[in-house]
Copies of this chain bind each other. A is one copy, B any other.
Amino acid sequence: MRFRIISVGKIREPFYDQGIKEYLKRLKPYTNIELLDGLEEKTNPQAGLAEIAKCRQKEGRKIMDLMGRDEIAVVFDIQGEMLSSAKWANYIEQLNGRSSSRINMIIGGAFGLDERVKQRAERKISFSPMTFPHQMAVLMLTEQIYRSFKIIRREPYHK
């Protein structure tokens, strides 16, 4: 099964970038996974709500266009359900056995995620009731996918 993390926001900070690359590298022996980031629409900092909604909609269209019909979408949203790492690993194991061509794990940017994308997702998951930067969310996600494979394979988690 192929996994793709779609991050609307660009990974800009060098330390987040290095951390995400590190977990993706550690995941290499376990699965096929890639990151696609930087789909964000540009707007000026004084943009009103209508302008922001338009940007979010455009970003949503880009995400929808990236996914084939048989692909699975999972979104990360502060309003989503929270899971333990063990339950999350069960879900990853289940996803891994499905016959879809790809699983997309989607993290919104500064404007949040378009309603259409949320509707398309089979599950909405939250890491925390706390708000974290999108770059931190991508780091958390890569780490939790790596942890899942360690749990599934019953291997010790060293670092």
Contact = CB atoms under 8 A, between A and B. Distances in A.
Interface of A: 12-16, 18-19, 22, 82-85, 88, 127-133, 136, 139-140, 143-144, 147, 159
28 contacts: A12-B159, A13-B22, A13-B159, A14-B18, A15-B15, A15-B16, A15-B18, A15-B19, A15-B22, A16-B19, A18-B18, A19-B19, A82-B128, A82-B129, A82-B130, A83-B129, A83-B130, A84-B130, A84-B131, A85-B131, A88-B130, A128-B128, A130-B140, A132-B140, A132-B143, A133-B143, A136-B139, A136-B140
A128 B82 CA distance: 8
Contacts of A18: 14-15, 18
User: Could you say how many copies of this chain the assembly holds?
Assistant: 2
Contacts of A129: 82-84
A142 to B, nearest CB: 11
A110 to B, nearest CB: 10
Contacts of A83: 129-130
A140 B132 CA distance: 8
Contacts of A143: 132-133, 136
A18 B13 CA distance: 10
Contacts of A16: 15, 19
A144 B130 contact: yes
